[in-house]
Amino acid sequence: MSREYMAPEEIEKKSMEIIERELNGLTYSFEQKQIIKRVIHTTCDVEFGKSIIFHPQAIAAGLEAIKSGKRIITDVHMVEAGIRAYDLTDFGNEILCFFDKDKNEPNKNNLPRAVLAMRKAQRYMNESIIVIGNAPTALFEVVDMIKEGGVRPVLVIGIPVGFVGAAKSKEELSQLEVPYITNKGRKGGSTIACAIINALIKLANSRL
Residues catalogued as catalytic: 41
Task: Name the amino acid, one letter, at 13.
Answer: K
Tell me whether residue 117 is exposed, middle or buried, using C-beta atoms within 10 angstroms of its C-beta: 0 to 12, 13 to 18, 19 or more: buried
CB distance 14 to 37 below 8 Å: no
Tell me whether residue 162 is exposed, middle or buried, using C-beta atoms within 10 angstroms of its C-beta: 0 to 12, 13 to 18, 19 or more: middle
Strand order across the beta sheet in which 129-132 lies: 52-54, 180-183, 155-158, 129-132, 72-74, 95-97
CB distance 23 to 49 below 8 Å: yes
Alpha helix (H) ranges present in the chain? Answer: 8-22, 30-43, 48-51, 58-67, 77-82, 113-121, 136-148, 166-173, 190-206
Q: How far apart are CA 11 and CA 155, in angstroms?
A: 32
Q: How far apart are the first and last CA of the chain?
A: 47
